Structure 1
């Protein structure tokens, strides 16, 4: 799996912001008034908290199979951004971390894939190149949280645009087929945030994430084709928690004001 592009941006932010903060001298801070939430403590935000992350998934399309007729995963890359919504009442299952009842927002995903199986499109015997662009809105309710570990249930609805390109070198033809599809996905996600280390606070900006679910296609892009995106999806890899970064920035600003 290609995670370099996922980790590059967070570490760049780390170098710029983290180095500046560490260069400042130590100062005493009031423990209760200026203590921020981390992966060990639990704090209830008084307002919405912005959150964003990269998202790499593996979709199992029915039209992408190996020689044994088994589905093979297709890499899907995207980003998500939204807000953490504070709970309106106490939920015993949510203890630790940045207390939030759910998060909601939007995402964008793209896929570029070469389909070597001829005949997927009507009246077509050649292989095609597929380009998918998917915009989604999501609602993700937290089910369980203990310190740095959390479990949630994301529900997503999207609007997708597809473009299929077919090149016939012998006849010197280039044909394009376009379509629109509507995906609906339901899944279960589990995340672990690395703990806070006093001399290495940026460590808790990162963690691990596991997501699995099932995707339903409410409307196909090309009804007469053999292409259907209904199926399972899975995501396993590193995660970057923007809300922990912004909390640390606020913490460092408060320390500077106290000097």
Structure 2
């Protein structure tokens, strides 16, 4: 099965999970209640009243991932992780229900990311007519859409979907030849995964603590267009990210909360 068909299949599964969660959310919103109000309004009228969505919230974070490229293996033929560094920035699209300051909840987030990698390849023969080790430089720009499956208190689970454009450059690292650049290439990466995060709670009234948390992200990246078609290089493979997280939206929400509190005084 080619990378394109694998990506399409995973997207279908991704859409099924997202639609199932969305349908359950709509059922919960429309679920009637037998309670009445003091103003004499009918229960249906009260339940169907929905607040307008609030403004978008900017969010940004660093993103370090460990990719298991098919062309990066050890002496036993097993894939070894390659560290790719990046940054993501975008907007949180809020839910219709207002939440407490510092506990902002969103239906999904969307934005762009940029990643880079400088890696030495010690496997001769990956590039045509090249019998020496090479060093490759990758630069990748991506767009992402990430709906939330579960958001309750400090725990979040989401399904990131990405597509982007990448550029690569390969150089010989032999001191004897010094031929410099060997090849250039472009590729189109697409990925789908699942992310789970935990935000630290506010302890002893110290709100900055919950600006930080912990995140686990895993998924699969497909290459829809080969980098150098006649080479053995392929960037398709699993990726994994485990580490601390910084929640910019919690910081900005707390500053708004403190500013409004000061105005009210």
**Normalised TM-score (structure 2):** 0.76
1:226 is matched with 232
1:204/1:181 Cα in 2 relative to 1: closer, same or farther (>3 Å)? same
Residues 65-108 of structure 1: per-residue CA shift (max 9 Å, x gap): 11211100000111101111123589xxxxx9422111000000
Contact residue 44 and residue 99 of structure 1 kept, 8 A:
no
1:3 is matched with none
81, 89, 92: which one aligns with 2:89: 81
Q: Distance in 2 between matches of 1:211 and 1:171?
A: 41
Residue correspondence of structure 1 range 194-213 to structure 2 within 5 A: 194-213=200-219
Structure having the larger proportion of residues in strand: 1
Q: Distance in 2 between matches of 1:60 and 1:77?
A: 14
Q: Distance in 1 between matches of 2:105 and 2:251?
A: 16
**Normalised TM-score (structure 1):** 0.77
SS class of match (1:257): helix
Unaligned runs of 5+ in 1: 1-42, 91-95
Q: Distance in 2 between matches of 1:151 and 1:217?
A: 25
Max Rg structure? 2
Matched, 1:66 2:74: yes
Q: Distance in 2 between matches of 1:246 and 1:233?
A: 30
Contact residue 97 and residue 145 of structure 1 kept, 8 A:
no
Contact residue 60 and residue 248 of structure 2 kept, 8 A:
yes
Q: Distance in 2 between matches of 1:224 and 1:158?
A: 22
1:108/1:61 Cα in 2 relative to 1: closer, same or farther (>3 Å)? same
1:247/1:45 Cα in 2 relative to 1: closer, same or farther (>3 Å)? farther
2:64 is matched with 56
Contact residue 73 and residue 79 of structure 2 kept, 8 A:
yes
SS class of match (1:62): coil
Contact residue 172 and residue 178 of structure 2 kept, 8 A:
no
Structure having the larger proportion of residues in helix: 2
Please give the root-mean-square deviation of Cα atoms over the aligned residues, in Å. 2.0
Q: Distance in 2 between matches of 1:147 and 1:45?
A: 20
Residue correspondence of structure 1 range 10-159 to structure 2 within 5 A: 46-87=54-95, 97-159=103-165
Structure 1 stretches of 4+ with a deviation exceeding 4 A read: none
What displacement does 1:201 show? 1.1
Q: Distance in 1 between matches of 2:171 and 2:178?
A: 13
Residues 103-130 of structure 1: per-residue CA shift (max 9 Å, x gap): 0000000011111111110010000001
What displacement does 1:237 show? 0.4
1:181 is matched with 187
Residues 23-47 of structure 1: per-residue CA shift (max 9 Å, x gap): xxxxxxxxxxxxxxxxxxxx99611
